[in-house]
Structure 1
Amino acid sequence: MRRLLATIGAVLLVTSMAACGSDSSDSGSSAAPKETTITVFAAASLKGTFTEIGKQFEAANEGVTVKFNFAGSSDLVAQIQQGAPADVFASADTKNMDKATADQLVEGTPANVARNTLEIATPPDNPADVDELSDLGDSKVKVVLCAPEVPCGSAAKSVEDVSGVDIKPVSEEQSVTDVLNKVINGEADAGLVYVTDVKAAGDKVKGVEFPESSKVVNTYPIAALTGSKSPEVAKNFAAYVTGAKGQAVLAAAGFAKP
């Protein structure tokens, strides 16, 4: 009987100690969140919106840091193909995302997050009096475009094809940001950029809309990458961009729904 009572007492003691040790509310301690950093490769035209979305995502996910690499989509996919460490890819067109998918670098199926169209940007005083797309075909007007392999350059070529306007650019840039900066700095009379870029630039440029732009629409896809070391966080970020909060940020910047 004494042996049985001793055994019962020992069990009760261990159970009591375990219960005390598991009550984190008394001690005020809790498991610290795991520190995780993901790198998002995103098209240059997404810089403003994705920077904001990244801050929101970090605030909603304690311990997570989002780093970005913004550049032309063709440059980004080339870097990913060459083994650059990245967790998420957001392209300004489906063509470059298709390249990553074909090389089995994309996890699952890319999701479309936004659409964008082109607009003419000129310096605020519009020195060349650009009023419509056909004005860009005048050899006296210094026009800057994105290079053909870049999504905004491919879109510009399509606009030329549907309109019949032959544009002879003074330079071709590797990102839409570079085109916009040349216009802002007075190095060009006009440039073809996205509607969202004109809006983001504010009074630094004047936007000139043209009806032909509606015939050429760029769709932006996003996907987590197979090389990600934090695949779940990468998928969650992509889902956040396609979710209500991410879409709200994109819509406020002038992007159209996918």
Structure 2
Amino acid sequence: MLPWLTVLALVTGCSPTRNNDVPLTGGDALSGDLHVLVAASLLPVAETLAADFERRHSGVEVLISAAGSSALREQVLAGAPADVFVPADPVHLETISDEMGLVGTPVAVARNSLVLAVPAGNDAGVASLADLSRPELLIGLCAAEVPCGTHARAGLTRAGIAAAPDTDEPNARALVTKLAAGELDAAVVYASDAASVEDIEDLGWPAGAAPETTYQAVVLTDALNPGAAAAFVEFLLSATARDAFEDHGFRAP
């Protein structure tokens, strides 16, 4: 049994159950604040999952913090309150593991891919990735240090595209907000964002295979509520969570 599952069994007095819609632990056996740090692209689905988890465990309050994965990693390393971390790229978990360790092995909970997206109506007539190099257009990417920016630049390089971004946003949600507001003519965003925001049109990735990322969740070594943290990570593997991820445009890992 993985260490964080052992913690869960000790706290709840029962074994967790995967891939069903019944409470994964003993309901009221868990209590206290649960600090969950998630990549900004996960915020909408994380809020949905947090509310569901709280209904199952009335004594737990899930506190979601969302930002760029690199910023969250630095918060964890600086000692900010954090029980569970779900970045948009496993590389950030590797850094934390090397410097302070992890409880158990990270588990993949969802996948995502990048797409070329435009504001509804596509007034600029964007049709391909090559349009990202048109100087007359307002182009947006995520900053290079966060996963949506790292993978976007790698994918564009493979496609032979020299993008000329007018803005490098600190996280995926900030980029999507500008795109949906019509402040940009085109951007590279996550497929989940394009699926969940009405004012954005998804043009796919018209240059072969789209860049992908996998979200992994883990209980942190300094977790103040390890029992609830282990239960929440296990909940992310349930059928209920999988359905929620798919409803928000993510794919199964």
Judge same fold: TM > 0.5, yes or no: yes
Q: How does 1:118-137 map to 2 (within 5 A)?
A: 118-137=114-133
SS in 2 for 1:257: coil
> Counterpart of 2:225 in structure 1: which amino acid?
S
SS in 2 for 1:168: coil
1:15 equivalent in structure 2: none
Q: How many Å separate the matches in 1 of 2:208 and 2:245?
A: 19
Highest Rg: 1 or 2? 1
Q: How many Å separate the matches in 1 of 2:83 and 2:208?
A: 33
1:253 equivalent in structure 2: 248
Q: How many Å separate the matches in 2 of 1:161 and 1:34?
A: 48
1:121-155 alpha-carbon deviations (Å, 9 max, x no partner): 21112121111111112122211100111000001
Q: How many Å separate the matches in 1 of 2:208 and 2:142?
A: 15
> Counterpart of 1:232 in structure 2: which amino acid?
G
**Divergent runs of 4+, >6 A:** none
Q: How many Å separate the matches in 1 of 2:167 and 2:88?
A: 21
Greater helix share, structure number: 1
Q: How does 1:1-258 map to 2 (within 5 A)?
A: 35-202=31-198, 204-212=199-207, 214-258=209-253
Contact 1:132–1:209 under 8 Å retained in 2 = no
Say what the alpha-carbon RMSD is for the aligned residues.
Answer: 1.4
Q: How many Å separate the matches in 2 of 1:211 and 1:40?
A: 35
Q: How many Å separate the matches in 2 of 1:44 and 1:76?
A: 10
* Structure 2: gaps of 5 or more residues: 1-27
Structure 2-normalised TM-score?
Answer: 0.86
> Which structure has the higher relative contact order (CA within 8 Å, separation 6+)?
2
Q: How many Å separate the matches in 1 of 2:228 and 2:249?
A: 27
Q: How many residues align?
A: 226
Contact 1:146–1:152 under 8 Å retained in 2 = yes
Contact 1:74–1:150 under 8 Å retained in 2 = yes
Contact 2:142–2:171 under 8 Å retained in 1 = yes
> Counterpart of 1:227 in structure 2: which amino acid?
D
Percent identity between matched residues is 32
Contact 1:88–1:224 under 8 Å retained in 2 = yes
How many angstroms does 1:57 deviate by?
Answer: 0.6
Contact 1:111–1:222 under 8 Å retained in 2 = yes
